[in-house]
Amino acid sequence: MSEIILKSGVIGWPIDHSLSPRLFGYWLKKNSVNGFYKAYAVQKDDINEFLCNMSKLGLVGLNVTVPHKQEVMKYVDHLSDCARKVGAVNTITKKDGLLFGDNTDGYGFIENLRQNYGLTNAFNGDCIVIGAGGAARAIVYALINIGAKKIKIVNRTQSKAEKLAKDIGGPIDVIDWNKRHNSLTEATFVVNTTTLGMKGNPPLELNLSALPKKALINDIVYVPVETTFLRNARARGNPTVDGIGMLLHQARPGFAEWFNKDPLVTEDLRHYVLGINGG
Ligand code: ATR
């Protein structure tokens, strides 16, 4: 009798940029799982058909990446509270013939901070969230869930920050983009969720002189791993956590669900996924 091969993958358009096959390939090997993980280039109009064909393809689950994280919500049978509130799905699991959609970005965000800094004291003052896009929504949801005392959202387009605050709910203030520098005075945590600082984009301009030295600074950008924002914060003595760990940790729930092993995020994995060495 031949052994069953567990299969999963990632859909997006385009999909060539995705680091998920490299990440899952590493974990499959490290955990000696007889599994398979593949990137599928799927266009928007073909999503439903692809999901209907999951069983035929033998897929037990899927990751979903840009630009389909919202679109797939229409086609799953069940949405987690997190996916519904965040308004995006990045992980789909097929169970008893039904599709379950979840969003694990917020989980990845928290686990990255927990692993690289610890959570004590980070969220008991002002938590400044810069940006109000998809990633910010997952992060604000996670911060509310973990009991952050006060969240201040600063976004270039203020109406998006206001909608985010209304959708997620909780102790959230929206701050004018031009007042972001002064919003740092009571901060215990600051995260950049915008694309500013990413390769090819201008850096985030944020004057850190009002920032308390103990505040934890996080950037979800991971290309480059050390952004100008993180470098400036580190240079003045603030603790910093980079963004690659969020990418790695958000993938753990899917791997655990589909392949029945809780995979580890290690320094070797970080290097491997970044293409430095290891594996
Ligand atoms: P993601 O899903 O990765 O969060 P997104 O939904 O496109 O991506 O969100 C991008 C974020 O970066 C938004 O907060 C965006 O601000 P706007 O809502 O005003 O567009 C922010 N952003 C991108 N380019 C920016 C720039 N040049 N200056 C300020 N904010 C910028």
With 90 as the cut, is the pLDDT of residue 31 above it?
Answer: yes
- Residue among 130, 192, 194 to mutate when testing ligand 1 (max atoms within 8 A of CB): 194
Q: How much distance in Å is there from the Cα of 195 to the middle of ligand 1?
A: 6
Indicate if ligand 1 lies below 6 Å from the C-beta of 131.
yes
pLDDT at 276: 64
Q: Residue range 211-229: average pLDDT? A: 97
pLDDT bracket for residue 4 (50, 70, 90): confident
Average pLDDT of the chain, as a whole number: 96
Q: Residue range 51-69: average pLDDT? A: 97
267, 116 contact by CB (below 8 A): no
With 70 as the cut, is the pLDDT of residue 210 above it?
Answer: yes
Indicate if ligand 1 lies below 6 Å from the C-beta of 196.
yes
pLDDT at 12: 97
With 80 as the cut, is the pLDDT of residue 279 above it?
Answer: no
Q: How much distance in Å is there from the Cα of 33 to the middle of ligand 1?
A: 38
Q: What is the pLDDT of residues 227-244, one digit of tens each?
A: 999 999 999 999 999 999
Helix axes 134-145, 105-116, angle to 10 degrees: 60
Q: How much distance in Å is there from the Cα of 158 to the middle of ligand 1?
A: 11
With 90 as the cut, is the pLDDT of residue 211 above it?
Answer: yes
Indicate if ligand 1 lies below 6 Å from the C-beta of 195.
yes
Indicate if ligand 1 lies below 6 Å from the C-beta of 194.
yes
CA distances from 64 to 29, 124, 242 (A): 22, 33, 23
Structure-derived torsion over alpha carbons of residues 42, 78, 141, 221, reported in degrees to the nearest 10: -20
b (16+ CB within 10 A) / e for 170-208: eebebbeeeebeebbeebbbbbbbbbbbbeeeeebebeb
Q: How much distance in Å is there from the Cα of 224 to the middle of ligand 1?
A: 17
Predicted TM-score (pTM) of the model is: 0.96
With 80 as the cut, is the pLDDT of residue 127 above it?
Answer: yes
Indicate if ligand 1 lies below 6 Å from the C-beta of 10.
no
